[in-house]
Every structure is written in structure tokens, then in C-alpha cells.
């Protein structure tokens, strides 16, 4: 489920994403970077091996109620795993040598917003069992 913040409506929008004839998803131009499409593409490729059932869905809702959409969809579709995006991302400056002013680090993680952290926390409070992994430890 691709999560998008809803800012100008009061009700959520849930969309099933279309797939091409080869089973791979369409890449939408409005998405930031290629991260989402590569994740969906990876799951679609794994689906073609017959290992998992994948149906990419986009959820557009307010950050305050997004956890409800995630948990409702997971329960409705009887999913066995929910993978949440981490609320920080790596600031990759593509070789321009961006340095964090305080630490002098290159490519430091940056917060994508407190609201996204709250979404993750609310989902974790509402699911039956969780296994949290935030990425490689450096």
C-alpha cells in the first residue's frame, strides 16, 4: 500500500494500482524518486515466482487517520505482513558533498515529518504482533 497524505478532503481514497500485461506496475510521475516503484516492482517480481500474492494499493488519507486505513485494509485482505516506511530518509546529495552542519556527516538521515512517525506508532499499537526493523545498523 502506497501511502499519500490527504490535505484537501475529509474522506480517504483507496485505489488499486493497475499493472501492465507483464505484471509490473505502472510508474506514476507524481511519486518522489524511484523508491516506491522499485519496492512494488520487487514484490511483483516475487509474485511472478509464485511466492506471494501482491495487489498494490494506494491509500490517500489524512495522517491522523491513515493508521485506520492501513489496519482495516490489512484485516480485510488478511495480510500476513505490513511493511511500514521508516519516518526518516537518507539525504543523499549525489556527490555534492552535503555536510550536516552540526556533525559534519555526509548523507545523514533526515526526518520526513512527525506526522509520519505518529502513523507508524499508531499502526504498531493496533496490530497483533510486530517485528520492527529500521534498516542496517552503521
**pLDDT, tens only, 25-79:** 454 444 444 455 677 777 778 778 887 777 777 788 888 888 888 888 888 888 8
Work out the burial of residue 133: count CB atoms within 10 Å of its CB; fewer than 13 is exposed, 13-18 middle, 19 or more buried. Answer: exposed
* Confidence grade of residue 97 (pLDDT, cut at 50, 70, 90): very low
pLDDT the model gives residue 45: 80
- Computed over every residue of the chain, the mean pLDDT equals 69
Cα separation, 36 vs 1, in Å, equals 10
**pLDDT at 6 exceeding the cut of 60:** yes
Give 18's DSSP letter: P
For the chain, which residues make up each domain, given as ranges? 1-61, 63-89+109-137
Q: How confident is the model at residue 8 (pLDDT cuts 50, 70, 90)?
A: low
Amino acid at each position: 500500500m502506497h501511502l499519500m497524505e490527504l490535505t484537501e478532503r475529509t474522506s480517504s481514497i483507496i485505489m488499486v494500482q493497475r499493472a501492465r500485461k507483464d505484471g509490473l506496475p505502472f510508474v506514476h510521475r507524481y511519486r518522489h524518486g524511484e523508491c516506491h516503484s522499485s519496492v512494488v516492482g520487487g514484490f511483483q517480481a516475487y509474485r511472478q515466482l509464485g511466492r506471494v500474492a501482491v495487489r498494490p494499493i494506494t491509500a490517500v488519507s489524512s495522517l491522523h487517520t491513515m493508521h485506520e486505513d492501513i489496519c482495516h485494509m490489512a484485516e480485510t485482505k488478511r495480510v500476513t505482513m505490513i511493511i511500514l516506511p521508516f519516518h526518516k530518509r537518507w539525504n543523499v546529495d549525489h556527490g555534492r558533498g552535503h555536510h550536516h552542519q552540526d556533525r559534519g556527516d555526509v548523507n545523514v538521515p533526515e526526518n520526513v515529518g512527525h506526522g509520519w512517525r505518529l502513523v507508524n506508532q499508531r499502526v504498531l499499537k493496533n496490530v497483533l504482533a510486530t517485528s520492527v526493523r529500521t534498516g542496517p545498523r552503521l
